[in-house]
Structure 1
Amino acid sequence: MLNLYIIVFLLLITNISSSSDLPRISCYRISGVPTRNNDIEGETYKSSLRFIGKTSPVTEILINQANFYWIGLISIGTPKRTFRIDFDTGSTDLWVPSIQCHSSCENKAKYDSNKSNTSRANGAAFRIVYGDGSFANGVFVNDTVTIGNLSILNQAFAQAKNISGFSTSTFDGVLGLAYSSLGTSGQTSIFYNMWQQGLITNPIFSFYFNPDPDAYPGGELIFGDVDPTKYSGSITYANVIIHAYWEFMMNNIQVNNTIICSNCRAILDTGTTLIIGPKIQIALLHRTIGAIFDEETGLYMVDCYTRLLSSFPDVNFSIGNSTFTLSVLQYLLIFNDDDKYICYTVFQGVNLHDNTGALIWILGDYFLNRFYSIYDLNLNRIGLAKSISYDYFQLSPISLFTYSNKTIQFSFNPIFIWLLFVCNILLK
């Protein structure tokens, strides 16, 4: 049985006076490698997709990210109570467990309004439902939310009295960073309040994720600007077309000479682990790559024992005037099962829709690991640039790609094994 390993997330934020002093969160990945269990009972793991019912119904249960996500620390109340938070560009509301949440909130920090001098009653009802049926519900309250030494006064957030599907997650709650239209009506999101209260110089935030599991820190969320030390080259911008998710138009996705989709809609979502696309388009992508569908996991697998690395094509995403490329060692997941290595891709087919009913692509963490992402509320646009960690490649067993001409030092990295273990649900 593989040992679990944990890298604790830290919070490092300073006063606002210049670009280098903007509020930022140093993100550290918490990763675990569970034992294999194809009959998971009780509460499900949290889905990697964050949809709240304002979209078309989502019936598929997706691969979770219970042991692969990015969190930081915030504090709520006076005196302060610290919470481990998952920052999510695919939802809007902030919620943490309430002191009234009992069995389903074990081992999580809880908010007690009676112990905060700055707590104010709100009373609005809260409920959020995720793609796998997990949920949180409760009631809104207003209090001071602190990120480092930056305090957002009278911030509305939900104290969750009931949660389901989070018993295995190491974070306490979720802080949404999408547009207000996805949030609970009448409540102002924390990022909007940061800007309205004059706490940040620009209504922009940006993410850097490092795909190297041993990197310290593992990433950064910065409020108010971008960090030019975390990307190379120029930034490509695309306009947000619907003010809900951070949704924009891609020119196309291309593999070799095959166009997988044209004029396709996409969102950037830090709350999604994989890269998700419509089933038909994902099937075409995998036929071009040379992958076959594995019904047990809902993923596509490839032969990585005898195929040359050079036989795997790049996957190219055309956005704006730029092409964002994922090469084979950037889109394969490699794990060990009874001393046999199995290789899957990070692309998964699920028919999901935006608020207009159009099919969408979701560019999750395996895309954002390679490309620095910017979210500009003032100009309603997203920005992408090549991450400084773009060239990191996951380490793999030396027995794989045996006939490859490439000389790469391989050693097995177990970070991806959970993807198969927790996915015991067929996507039909």
Structure 2
Amino acid sequence: MSCYRMTDTSVQNDRIEHETINLTYKSSLRFRGKTNVIRESLFNQANYYWIGLISIGTPEKTFIINFDTGSTDLWVPSIQCLSTCENKAKYDLYSSYTSRANGATFRIKYGDGSYVNGIFINDTVTIANSSVLNQAFAHAKNISGFSLSTFDGVLGLAYPSLGTSGQIPIFYNMWQQGLISNPIFSFYFNPNPNSYPGGELIFGGVDSTKYLGSITYVDVIIPAYWEFMMDSVQTNDKIICSNCRAILDTGTTLIVGPSNQIALLNYAIGGIYDQETGLYTVDCYTRLLSDFPDVEFSIGNMTFTLSVLQYLLISKDNDNFVCYTIFQGINLRDNRGYLIWILGDYFLSRFYSIYNVKRNQIGLAKSISYNYLQINPKSLFGNSSNKNYFQYILQLFILIIILVIRNIFFF
């Protein structure tokens, strides 16, 4: 699984400005008094990504899907996809009597180098028992970079300007067809990989039981990705960046930023660059937890804090544990050429996120799972040295007792 999966806009349409789809619609009166929402349960895949189930066609074919706010289109493998689609569910347009010809070509390349090629088709797409009629999606004939992923396809939730061939995204059709009463959606990710369900995606609303305190809203500055201005990133009172551009991306695992800023952040934490993985390692054997600083993200004049056990990845290599930070340096740009930060799943699993299409805003609030901490081996964070020290004291005490007994009985 790649650490980030952001749409490469170089292969998208030449459209830069968002061609806003009219959210009122001529039949908007049919929404009056409705409070419809669609609730999609999500599964936590070892904190690398959160996935859910959808079905396509009539009769329905079920697919495991990665819901991605960093891209726009929906795609699933085609029955015509062979070697690169092994062990994945495949769509057969000839088996569905609700399929309709579309013919537009589909090609998307993600920031980690993976790509998908295929053809658009229209069919019924069902999410949590709600059916979106005549939805355009791509059935992929060529897929690269997804062989290790447990999901079959990707459902994009970014703005239409990132889409290909002018197809209307599924979220907009949900609203147009009256399946939801409000043009917003929201994510809750549970960072406990053993929890079920592992999260929730709500189309058309917000779940107030999944966050604590108030919601902080900021405006989207370019309606393509869910991009906004981040006031600052800092740690140990050291400013890493100020007035920096950022996006919320559920399709990215880690927190990604410009290479020089991420290098500065990791240096402040005590991270050392690992050439093999492209990540930064820290000494989590001898350093105490109290030696690691918090990392603070200032958004909308509110501070969103990650502590050390929230920003470390602990991996086992043979009998040894290796600790990586979740901060990865890659120079990625938005569709106007600006360097951006990507706040991925390790951020979104601590903060409930809301995406409002009508107001062009994102919202963040502290998740109810904010305080969940991964279970760490007792040998880490200085505990090993303390354990050895106490073992030494115990052994010394036993030795003294033995010597005293010997002196009593032999002298």
1:166 has 2:181 as partner? no
Distance change in 2, residues 1:387/1:350 (3 Å): same
- 8 Å Cα contact 2:246/2:341 also seen in 1: yes
Give the letter aligned to residue 259 of structure 1: I
Which whole-Å CA distance do the structure 2 matches of 1:168 and 1:17 have between them? Answer: 45
1:212 has 2:202 as partner? no
1:278 has 2:281 as partner? no
- Higher helix proportion (structure 1 or 2): 2
Which whole-Å CA distance do the structure 1 matches of 2:278 and 2:75 have between them? Answer: 31
> Aligned with 1:355: secondary structure?
coil
Which residue among 207, 224, 236 is the counterpart of 1:244? 224
> Aligned with 1:121: secondary structure?
strand
Deviation at 1:17, TM superposition (A): 11
Deviation at 1:287, TM superposition (A): 1.6
Which whole-Å CA distance do the structure 2 matches of 1:246 and 1:204 have between them? Answer: 12
Which whole-Å CA distance do the structure 1 matches of 2:96 and 2:278 have between them? Answer: 46
TM-score (norm 2): 0.84
Which residue among 84, 87, 90 is the counterpart of 1:104? 84
Which whole-Å CA distance do the structure 2 matches of 1:145 and 1:114 have between them? Answer: 16
TM-score (norm 1): 0.80
Deviation at 1:146, TM superposition (A): 0.8
Instruction: Flag structure 2 segments of 5+ consecutive residues without an equivalent.
Output: 1-30, 387-411
Deviation at 1:219, TM superposition (A): 0.5
> Aligned with 1:226: secondary structure?
coil
1:311-322 → structure 2 map (5 Å cutoff): 311-322=291-302
1:199 has 2:179 as partner? yes
Distance change in 2, residues 1:392/1:278 (3 Å): same
Worse overlay, 235-244 or 338-347: 338-347
Which whole-Å CA distance do the structure 2 matches of 1:259 and 1:160 have between them? Answer: 44
- 8 Å Cα contact 2:48/2:345 also seen in 1: no
Which residue among 244, 250, 253 is the counterpart of 2:233? 253
Which residue among 326, 330, 336 is the counterpart of 1:346? 326
1:357-372 → structure 2 map (5 Å cutoff): 357-372=337-352
1:22 has 2:37 as partner? yes
Give the letter aligned to residue 194 of structure 1: M
Map Cα deviations across residues 102-148 of structure 1 (whole Å, 9 max, x no partner). 12112211111111111110000001112232211111111111112
Which whole-Å CA distance do the structure 1 matches of 2:385 and 2:248 have between them? Answer: 35
Which residue among 38, 49, 52 is the counterpart of 1:72? 52
> Aligned with 2:168: secondary structure?
coil
Which residue among 261, 269, 273 is the counterpart of 2:249? 269
1:314-333 → structure 2 map (5 Å cutoff): 314-333=294-313
Percent of pairs with identical residues: 74
Give the letter aligned to residue 362 of structure 1: I
> Aligned with 2:268: secondary structure?
helix
> Aligned with 2:80: secondary structure?
coil
Give the letter aligned to residue 290 of structure 1: G
Partner residue of 1:89? 69
- 8 Å Cα contact 2:132/2:170 also seen in 1: yes
Partner residue of 1:233? 213
Distance change in 2, residues 1:219/1:274 (3 Å): same
Map Cα deviations across residues 287-336 of structure 1 (whole Å, 9 max, x no partner). 21121112222111111111111111110000002100000111111122
Partner residue of 2:105? 125
Deviation at 1:18, TM superposition (A): 9.5
Which whole-Å CA distance do the structure 1 matches of 2:334 and 2:290 have between them? Answer: 36
Give the letter aligned to residue 345 of structure 2: D
Which whole-Å CA distance do the structure 2 matches of 1:26 and 1:19 have between them? Answer: 22
Deviation at 1:196, TM superposition (A): 1.1
- 8 Å Cα contact 1:30/1:69 also seen in 2: yes
